[in-house]
Amino acid sequence: MTLLLLSALAVAEPPAVLPGLEAETAAEAAVSAPPSGLDERVEELLRQMTLEEKLGQLQQLDGEAGGDYRPEHLELARQGRLGSTLNVRGAKRVNELQKAALESRLRIPILFGYDVIHGFKTIFPIPLGEAASFDPAAAERSAAIAAAEASAAGVRWTFAPMVDIARDPRWGRVAEGAGEDPYLGSVMAWARVKGFQGEDLTAQDKVLACAKHWAAYGAAEAGRDYNTTDLSEHTLRSVVFPPFRAALEAGALTFMSAFNDLNGVPATANPFLMTQVLRQEWGFEGFVVSDYTAVQELVAHGLASDGAEAARRALGAGTDMEMVSRLYNQHGARLVQEGRLPLAVIDEAVRRVLRVKFRAGLFERPYAELGRESPVLRSDHLKAARLIAARSMVLLRNEGGVLPLDKRIRTLAVIGPLADDKRSMLGTWPADGRAEDAVSVLEGLRGKTFPEAKVLYAKGCALAGEGAEGLDEAVRVAQQADAAVVVVGEDADMSGEAASRAALDLPGRQLDLVRAVLGTGTPTVVVLMNGRPLTIPWIAENVPAVLEAWHPGVQAGHAVADVLFGDVNPGGKLPITFPRSVGQIPIYYAHKSTGRPPDAKNKYTSKYLDSPVTPLYPFGHGLSYTSFELSDLALSAKTLPPDGKLTASVQVENTGNRPGDEVVQLYIQDADASVTRPVRELRGFERVTLKPGEKRKVEFPLTPEHLGFYGRDSRFIVEPGLFRVFAAASSVGGLEASFEVVPK
């Protein structure tokens, strides 16, 4: 039995068309087969290459700020000594550099890469926010749009999706992934690879995907970026690896190594990761690129005494292409001459790189097509960005019917340091997105109210720091209004790479601002914009309405207004747990029970003296302006053999008075196993749209891939014993049933 394959996951088949969007890709389509004679073409090139040219194919160099190539790139390209660039983009620039490469002796084209993480020019919600949609079709659609825009600028390879599972929100890069759960992470990884690559890798509007960071980068100790990780093989195979395997099964032909060391061996020089698992077990035929200077950093790790040893270890482990640093080129020839590195290792790395270039159609279509690149954002792309942003928002709290707001409102106060911050709407890694193209929340709300309505604005306070000069103005504005919307959180630079935080409270005086506005007695809504879970217990207990908007992208303001005024009924769910305090971290729903589960009546159980052990908001939580009820959880069998299958079904009904979306979630618990298992594991979900009074039956298959686990010998098994099944609207509560796996 192999790792959990996405093709067997119990997510209902995603719709081909999102409501309000036109279909562009088919989620189930397979990546096109390699061109006939590919291996022969690769070997023919390899036979002609000098060692210097081979090492050139393993070199990726960075461009200038703004997307231009560097002067030395032209000469290296003409010599056949530049395999790839990152950050070089723009059809004219790309074609100039590619022309130089095609003037080289063997005419091997350059592969142009760029970080297209959640959009190229049309910026979508950060990936963590998009995962909150629980809608893989939305993720596929946004990736397809990003690929179309990036490829028009000559980009043929994106360093996405990031599929790291992250359970410590202090780590800033939680913003770039799908959260804490390997099942949801696998579904989103699959969808994003399909969106980037489509049915045909050689199509002009597609780009190569890159699954990163291989592996365990999301488990950095203390949530500190680039820090060490130490995880058991059981945890690696059960939690960390599944989204990478899903990306591979979806057709990803490149992986990126992680910065961190893993169990004492840096990932970039880790044979267990690069060779044993990725190539021998999974049969990966693409290539691995190092992260930025990660090969050189093997010296700082203490694994290598100098650059030559770092190159030997990374190449020998299976990291094929070196990003930015130049140790392969500086030391490769000497390592071969001295017998410290077999030439066959270099040949195999080059073989992998050439194979991907052929499969991507780079030899047949090396140039960017002039005329496709446009400075104007397409209206259909903006429409998609607006809808997907709204679908990603999570209603955390709504007491007293504060939301949705009445469009006939006479005076609305819009307050907060992020209310008119266009740059922060785009979030981390906004590629070529421009702040001037973004719609702020203030702009979006002004456009939503009747012309005679007043929309008053006050910044209130700075995003960070102790300055509180604007609090009085915010109070004055709130006192004049029928309702107040306070937009607080993190700016774009407070999450993402190198943006770890030791505290997860609202920065600066933002909480004081919320308290001051709420103290006026004006009905108050807090809109959170952030790249990670925040610790907001006071807001959760006191503010009547709280909307998690993440960093929503270029159409942020319109999407927020759509949700606040009820044109879109929020249906997103949290893809990651919100802690009450940093002291609870790491906190995630799929924890073990321990031998002494928490018991308020017994001191000697697993809990805190000064805080509940429960989260502030659990994984899967999200409210709606209507109400839903689950009923009639049924299993198609009460017993089954280890290789058997069953179907779990549940009825979901809209019991409220307006249409809305519910994400029906299916969890299992293996209650009788030879290794301890999580209290719950997500094994299926479906986002359904229901009219008032409408009821629908939702079905989820449960197969050996869903029921098995990695045993004490790290082999995948399905053991006889009791299984519990939960159908719920979050990872807490819900309906329960059980079945038993029995020996054959």
Q: Is the confidence at residue 14, as pLDDT, over 70?
A: no
Q: Is the confidence at residue 3, as pLDDT, over 80?
A: no
Nearest to 331 by CA among 45, 59, 46: 59
- Which 3 state secondary structure label does DSSP give 563? helix
According to DSSP H, which parts of 33-181 are helical? 38-48, 51-57, 71-78, 91-101, 127-131, 136-152
User: CA 608 to CA 522: how far, in whole Å?
Assistant: 36
Partners of residue 665 on adjacent β-strands: 685, 728
Contact (CB, 8 A) for 412 and 524: no
- The more confident residue out of 363 and 4 is 363
Q: Is the confidence at residue 25, as pLDDT, over 60?
A: no
pLDDT at position 18? 35
Q: Is the confidence at residue 394, as pLDDT, over 70?
A: yes
pLDDT at position 12? 36
Residue 441 in tokens: 């929340």
The pLDDT of 545-565, averaged and rounded, is: 98
The pLDDT tens digits for 299-354 are 999 999 999 999 999 999 999 999 999 999 999 999 999 999 999 999 999 999 99
> Angle at Cα 503 formed by Cα 501 and Cα 509, nearest 5°?
110
Q: Give the pTM.
A: 0.94
Q: Is the confidence at residue 24, as pLDDT, over 60?
A: no
The pLDDT tens digits for 211-232 are 999 999 999 999 999 999 999 9
Nearest to 157 by CA among 121, 76, 211: 211
pLDDT above 70: percentage of residues in the chain: 95
The pLDDT of 516-535, averaged and rounded, is: 98
* Active-site residue set: 291
pLDDT at position 34? 53
Mean pLDDT, the chain, as a whole number?
94
pLDDT at position 497? 98
pLDDT at position 36? 66
The pLDDT tens digits for 623-672 are 999 999 999 999 999 999 999 999 999 999 999 999 999 999 999 999 99
Q: Is the confidence at residue 398, as pLDDT, over 90?
A: yes
The pLDDT tens digits for 54-83 are 999 999 999 999 999 999 999 999 999 999
The pLDDT tens digits for 253-310 are 999 999 999 999 999 999 999 999 999 999 999 999 999 999 999 999 999 999 999 9
Q: Is the confidence at residue 11, as pLDDT, over 80?
A: no
Per the listing, tokens 């009460």 go with: 638
pLDDT at position 451? 84
pLDDT at position 468? 80
Q: Is the confidence at residue 9, as pLDDT, over 70?
A: no
Q: Is the confidence at residue 7, as pLDDT, over 80?
A: no
- Which domains does the chain carry? 51-359 (3.20.20.300), 391-584 (3.40.50.1700), 628-741 (2.60.40.10)
Q: Is the confidence at residue 477, as pLDDT, over 60?
A: yes
Q: How confident is the model at residue 17 (pLDDT cuts 50, 70, 90)?
A: very low
pLDDT above 90: percentage of residues in the chain: 92
Partners of residue 322 on adjacent β-strands: 59
User: CA 11 to CA 628: how far, in whole Å?
Assistant: 20
The DSSP secondary-structure symbol of 208 reads: B
3-state secondary structure 342-411: CHHHHHHHHHHHHHHHHHCCCCCCCCCCCCCCCCCCCHHHHHHHHHHHHHHCEEEEECCCCCCCCCCCCE
User: CA 636 to CA 634: how far, in whole Å?
Assistant: 7
The pLDDT tens digits for 582-627 are 999 999 999 999 999 999 999 999 999 999 999 999 999 999 999 9
